[in-house]
Structure 1
Amino acid sequence: MKKLIAGVVLGVALTAVAHGAGDPQAGEQNAAVCAGCHGQGGQKPIMGVYPKLSGLGEKYLYNQLVAIKAGDRVIPEMTGLLDNRSEQELLDLAAYFDNQDMIVSQANPDLVDEGAALYRGGNMATGVPACAGCHNPRGSGNEPGGYPALGGQNAEYVTKQLKAYRDGARNAGANAAIMMDVASKLTDAEIEAVSSYISGLN
């Protein structure tokens, strides 16, 4: 029993090290190609449907890079870009982008109240949980759990991803099942409102 417990503790420790072992400076050297779509430092994507990568959380970013490289999360624009990247290079990229400051967008004032209600309290009538439960009331995410920081993210991108979860098109990753269940209960109007609110959350 002691060996089993020791093994579990060691495994958890190694996982923690793996997700905190990125070198931001080394990551910056490999991030130039990313700037073409995501902007310098992942802060200002060229289009709203592309995500901001800055400050999302190192564990989340690393897990997404691994999923994209493996083909589990299909993003046509990124086809082949990560094929020759080592695990360490992916860790470095994740550390670099997580080290950058998120530039907050502007929420639509007409949607703030509805968006805030959904984000902070969910919709009890339809079984939608509060986004804040996993992503933090301030939108700063949950690094140990691998839940990304959402505050400041492009509304168009959040909308696209929530619909992808709802349609089953985005189904890869440890937390995908949770998001697919949540998104399946959201209407288009709710997705628009909460996405707009998230874009201005800081």
Structure 2
Amino acid sequence: MAGTPFTPLHFQLVLLRRMADHQPGLVEDARHELGVSLSEMREANRRWQAMLHAPRGRSAVGRYRSVLGAPEVRERRRIGDLDCEALLWPVPLWPALRFEVLLAPNGAVWNEWLVRAPGATGPRLETAADLRPWSCTVDEVARAFAPARPMEGTAPTRWRLAFAARQDADPAAGDPAAGDPRRWVADFTWGLLQRVDETG
């Protein structure tokens, strides 16, 4: 594998490797779906890290283009007073998502994560019970449970959100206090939801 080109398949293994700490079962299922071994996943991650830290490596956006090819979508974004560019690539493991790289006006990468594909319908998020692993993205949770508070991630490529939400849509069906707002923290890797924990 070390002598072969780094392909979109290998990039998906990099995404999975980062998610394995939170969702080893889902990662294992996805790895089998891709038909690769655990050692191949580790090797893909090793090669990716080597590319990131190469002294004369490509720029971040150049690296993504070399691995993923030409972006499926390029669009302008207005963020505050700045005109930015978003590049989106398909990710076969998650057909309804795209890998997005957001570029600053000077070409620097501001953000890189999974987002809902243009035109795709996201999940209906009303309670904490709706927040299932790998079902939604950072921006979808932030919109559904505004005002969500961003928190520092526990490692690179990880994000966290603190927010208030009911536990369940039907309090009568279980916990009598399920309909009361509670405090939660959601963990994301590469922008995709991994877990939700109640904090009070």
Same fold (TM over 0.5): no
Higher RCO by CA contacts (8 Å cutoff, separation 6 or greater): 1
Higher fraction of strand: 2
For the pair shown, the structure with the greater C-alpha radius of gyration is 2
